[in-house]
Amino acid sequence: MMNCELHDDTITAGGDAVSELYDRGFYGRVKGETLELSLVEGAYLLYRKKIEIFSDGTAIDFKMFFEIASKRLRDFELRYIVFKDLRERGYYTKMSPIGFRLYPRGGHPTKTRAHIFVYVVSERTSLPLQHLIRELNRAENARKRLILAIVDEESDITFYELKRVTMSGETAEPAAGEIKAPAVASLLNDRTIIWDPEVSNLLHNKYFFGKKLDEFRLQLSLVESGYLLDRQLIRIDNADANADTDTSAFDRCASETEPAYGLKYPVYSDLRRSGLVAKTGFKFGTHFRVYKQFKSDTHSEYLVHTIPPDHQFLLPELSRAVRISNSVHKRMIFGRPDADGSGVCYIEFEWIRL
C-alpha cells in the first residue's frame, strides 16, 4: 500500500505512485516525480486498499475521508458513485469541471482521445436549458458526445445522451390555390369546426389536419386552426371569436384558452414547414407526437415537447418523458423556439446504457 498526503482537495502520492497507479490504472495526474489524485480517485483507491491517506501525519479511514471529501467537493458522493460504476465496468476517466471525460472501452489516456463528456447531476437538481446548451456547444466544439449521468436517491445512475437534431419529413404543405376561398370555421372554446364537407376531406385526408367530427365536418385543434388561418385556408366566422380571420385576434384568444399556445404554435408551424405532421401528444404527456409521413397505419417517430428559453428541466419529469418515449419506440425531442422567430432549436434526449 502506498502512502499519500491530503492537502485541501488534492491527494499527493510520491515514489512509485506514477508507475503503480498511473501507468497501470491511469489514476491521477503526473506532476514531475509525484502523482496528484483527485478526491474521488483517492476515495476509490482507499476503498480498493491501494493507498493509505494521511493528513498532518494521521491516517484517515474511509468513513472519515468520505465525510471530509463530501464537504470539500460539491457533489463528491455523486461523482464517487458514477466514477466507481464506470471504472468497474472497464472505462477510464479523467476528471472534468462537470464530471468526467470518458475514454472509449478499451481506450485510455496514452492511447486514445476521450470521446465523451459525462455530466454528473443529482435527480434533485433542476437543470437550466441554457446550461445544457452551453455544454452541448462545448462538446460539439471538442467533437465529443455529451452524456448526462443522473444519480437518483438510491444511487442508481441513468444515462442520457444529448444531441441537437434537425427535424425534417416528407409531407407537403397545403398549396395556396388548392382551396378557392378560405373555408368557414367556427371557434367553439378550445377547438374549431370546419363545416364544408369537401374542404374537411381535403384537409384531413391529404394533409392530415384535425379529426372528423362526423362524415361531413372536421374538428381542428387550436394550433392547426392558427396555422390554416395564417395561410388563409380557413376563416373563423362566429361572432364570439372576433368575427374575422384576423390572426392576431385569434392568437390572443387561443393563448387565453391554452396558456402554452404561444410556445406551441411556432414549433407546430416549424414542424409543418419542415414536412412533418404534428398531432397532439396528450396520451404521451407531451405537446406533440410527430410523423415524418402520415398514413393510417404508420406510427409517429417523435414526441416533441416545447419549452421556453428559460426552461429548467426537473429531472424526475425529464425521466418520465424519456421513459415514455422509449416504451413506445419514439425519439424524445425538446423544441425551443428561437427568440427572433427564425426557427426552433431541437434537442434530443436518448436513454442509453453505457
For residues 171 and 300, the answer to whether their CB atoms sit within 8 Å is no
Q: Output the smallest distance, CB 305 to a copy of itself, in A.
A: 10
For residues 333 and 305, the answer to whether their CB atoms sit within 8 Å is yes
For a copy of itself, the binding residues in 72-111 under the rule CB under 8 A are 75-77, 81, 84
For a copy of itself, the binding residues in 258-317 under the rule CB under 8 A are 258, 279-280, 282-286, 315-317
Between 24 and 320, name the residue whose CB sits nearer to a copy of itself. Answer: 320
153 part of the interface to a copy of itself, by CB under 8 A: yes
For residues 347 and 161, the answer to whether their CB atoms sit within 8 Å is no
Residue 165 exposed, middle or buried by CB count within 10 Å (0-12, 13-18, 19+): middle
Residue 175 exposed, middle or buried by CB count within 10 Å (0-12, 13-18, 19+): exposed
Burial 108-137 (b: 16+ CB within 10 A, else e): eeeeeebebbbbbbebebebebeebbebbe
The CA-based diameter of the chain, rounded to the nearest angstrom, is 90
205 part of the interface to a copy of itself, by CB under 8 A: no
For a copy of itself, the binding residues in 4-33 under the rule CB under 8 A are none
- Looking at 132-140, 152-160, 164-172, 226-234, which segment touches a copy of itself (CB under 8 A)? 152-160
Between 114 and 315, name the residue whose CB sits nearer to a copy of itself. Answer: 315
214 part of the interface to a copy of itself, by CB under 8 A: yes
Contacts with a copy of itself: how many residues (CB under 8 A)?
Answer: 58
Kindly list the catalytic residues: 291, 299, 330
Amino acid at 138: R
CB half-sphere exposure, 46, CA atoms < 13 A: 24
67 part of the interface to a copy of itself, by CB under 8 A: yes
Matching residue, cell 488534492: 10
210 part of the interface to a copy of itself, by CB under 8 A: yes
Residue 329 exposed, middle or buried by CB count within 10 Å (0-12, 13-18, 19+): exposed
For a copy of itself, the binding residues in 226-265 under the rule CB under 8 A are 238, 240, 257-258
Q: Output the smallest distance, CB 225 to a copy of itself, in A.
A: 10
38 part of the interface to a copy of itself, by CB under 8 A: no
CA torsion 251→253→259→260, rounded to 10°? -30
For a copy of itself, the binding residues in 111-140 under the rule CB under 8 A are 122-124
Amino acid at 67: E
Between 72 and 206, name the residue whose CB sits nearer to a copy of itself. Answer: 72
Between 93 and 219, name the residue whose CB sits nearer to a copy of itself. Answer: 219
Enclosing H/E stretch for 265? helix 261-273
Q: Which residues bind a copy of itself (CB under 8 A)?
A: 47, 62-63, 66-67, 70-71, 75-77, 81, 84, 122-124, 150, 152-156, 158, 186, 188-191, 193, 195, 210-211, 213-214, 217, 219, 221-222, 238, 240, 257-258, 279-280, 282-286, 315-317, 319-321, 323-324, 327-328
